[in-house]
Amino acid sequence: MIRINTPLDDEMICDIYAGDEVLVSGVVYTARDKAHRRFIEALKRGDELPIDIRGQVLFYAGPAPAKPGEVIGSIGPTTSSRMDPFTPELLSRGLKGMIGKGPRSESAKRAIKENKAIYLVATGGAAALLSKCVKRARVVAYEDLGPEAVYELELKDFPVVVGVDCRGKDFYVEFSNRKSKK
Amino acid sequence: MKEIHVRELTKVVEELCIESNYNLRPDVLLALKKSLEIEESDIGRTVIQQIIRNAVIARSEKLPICQDCGIVNVLLEIGQDVSFVGGLIEEAINEGVKRSYKSGFLRKSVVDDPCFDRKNTGDNTPAAISLRLVPGDSVKVVVMPKGGGSENVSVVRMLLPGDGPKGIKSTVLEVAKNAKANPCPPVVIGVGIGGTFDSVGFLAKKALLRNINERNEDERYSNLEVSLLEEINNLGIGPGGLGGKVTALAVNIETYPCHMACLPIAVNFGCCALRSAEKVL
């Protein structure tokens, strides 16, 4: 099993390929629809983002609340394509990775390739299991958004599959090509 | 007339919201386990195994199966010899939702104004409530928390009578193909056929409430369910959308009479964390 640690650098990213199963450890930041909108609005105003995204990974997720004594509630990926319109801008500013579910748009994939980034896919419907890989969690921005706030999470061996690699290869397309060739 | 205090309704809705969010339906769990016998893709098998392990953890540790604890669909089948006392039915239901999403540590996913403000209501209310009058003096309460991913790829379409079974089939296949990985496969596909523009969507949702390992009683529709499942599972989308044989666990069809000029169809996806629970008052 391939293991990677955040923050990500080019060498690490170029070493993994679409379809690889990977375990992610280290800090990632949650961001969904509304946080993305606010990121882009802040950049338009010329403001700094509330987090330094250079080399970082965004996890498209909004967790369930933590029970007393627990780090976090159930947490799993939301549909990535809703974030596609915002992705090229964030990648051009140094974002290196994303965790979500489902295929990406052509423009998002192009930006992933151009910026040597990576898109990782986690299993939807396994949020209780995935929550066990979160060792630390705190809200770092947009607390008013509730479950859509930006959380800083520390992951340990969080299981993903590489959806789009830094060469722009898309596993969702690759496996369907393989199938049609049969 | 049998009297039921609305506080009973609140209590039952609270219990059912928590029960359905923590416990994967037994019919879905069984179908997932059986699907391992036919899934050949390694990644596909890993995804199914994760989903099964997830259900075990959620049940034993009392955690929501999915972080998306949904908007709550509530279906009330009210015996017409029942009289509710002590308050309003809708308020009682929403109070039950509110209490359970707080006490059960469930994610609140409902926003108020859909188009402009989109501000989280903070307690997961209001529920999407359907009321139906039935004979008798009991009340059946059905609760179905429904996530956004599986709703977003669902479709209502007004086919024409001439489209017939062929049109039904091609519509379901097209919708399943376009949904790709987004509704969290392996999915359950609820299909409503007939009724009216507004009621066919409800029919499709109701189809998801039926045991997914039982087929429609009408042989023609059960054949349609079986052949649709086979064709959908030949699309290759697979568990998690990462390729494989098991894209869907079942296709459930429900029907209703319709206008002679119409053939409404609705396709409502249930994700691999298809949740519902019911109780009779």
Please tell me the distance in Å from A138's CA to the nearest CA on chain B: 16
Residue type, B205: K
The answer to whether B240 contacts A123, with C-beta atoms less than 8 Å apart, is: yes
A90-130 pLDDT tens trace: 999 999 999 999 999 999 999 999 999 999 999 999 999 99
Decide if B256 contacts B218 (C-beta within 8 A). Answer: no
Is B181 within 8 Å of chain A by CB?
yes
A67 contacts in chain B (CB < 8 Å): 63, 105
Widest Cα–Cα separation across chain B: 59
Taking the domains of chain B in order of start, what are their residue ranges? Answer: 2-22+65-146, 149-274
Is A142 within 8 Å of chain B by CB?
no
| Rg of chain A taking only CA atoms, in angstroms | 16
Q: Chain A: residue nearest B187 by CA?
A: A125
Q: Chain B: residue nearest A145 by CA?
A: B120
A68-94 pLDDT tens trace: 999 999 999 999 999 999 999 999 999
The answer to whether B122 contacts A73, with C-beta atoms less than 8 Å apart, is: no
CA dist., res. A163 & res. B127, Å (int): 35
* CATH number of the structural domain spanning residue A131: 3.20.130.10
Q: What is the pLDDT of residue A175?
A: 75
CA-based angle A159:A162:A166, to the nearest 5?
A: 140
Structure tokens at B98: 């509110």
Residue A181 confidence class, pLDDT cut points 50, 70, 90 = very low
The mean of the pLDDT values for chain A is 95
Q: Chain B: residue nearest A129 by CA?
A: B54
Angle, helix B42-61 to helix B26-35, in steps of 10 degrees: 150
**Which residues span the domain enclosing A159?**
2-180
B177-198 pLDDT tens trace: 999 999 999 999 999 999 999 9
The percent of residues above 90 in pLDDT, for chain B, comes to 100
Is A74 within 8 Å of chain B by CB?
yes
Q: Which of A8, A18, A28, A36 is catalytic?
A: A36
B210-225 pLDDT tens trace: 999 999 999 999 999 9
In the stretch 131-150 of chain B, residues with CB closer than 8 A to chain A read 148-149
Q: What is the pLDDT of residue B25?
A: 97
Q: Chain B: residue nearest A130 by CA?
A: B54
B251-264 pLDDT tens trace: 999 999 999 999 99
Is B46 within 8 Å of chain A by CB?
yes
CA dist., res. A63 & res. A84, Å (int): 21
State how many domains chain A has: 1
The answer to whether B149 contacts A124, with C-beta atoms less than 8 Å apart, is: yes
Q: Kindly give, in sequence order, each residue whose CB lies less than 8 Å from that of residue B70, ignoring residues fewer than 6 positions away.
A: B21, B109, B144, B145, B146, B147, B148, B275
Catalytic annotation on A17? no
Q: What is the pLDDT of residue A176?
A: 66
Alpha helix ranges (H) inside chain A: 10-14, 33-45, 87-92, 106-114, 127-131, 171-181
Is B107 within 8 Å of chain A by CB?
yes
A137-161 pLDDT tens trace: 999 999 999 999 999 999 999 999 9
CA dist., res. B80 & res. A165, Å (int): 60
Please tell me the distance in Å from A182's CA to the nearest CA on chain B: 12
CA dist., res. A116 & res. A95, Å (int): 10
Dihedral sign (CA A59, A65, A71, A76):
negative
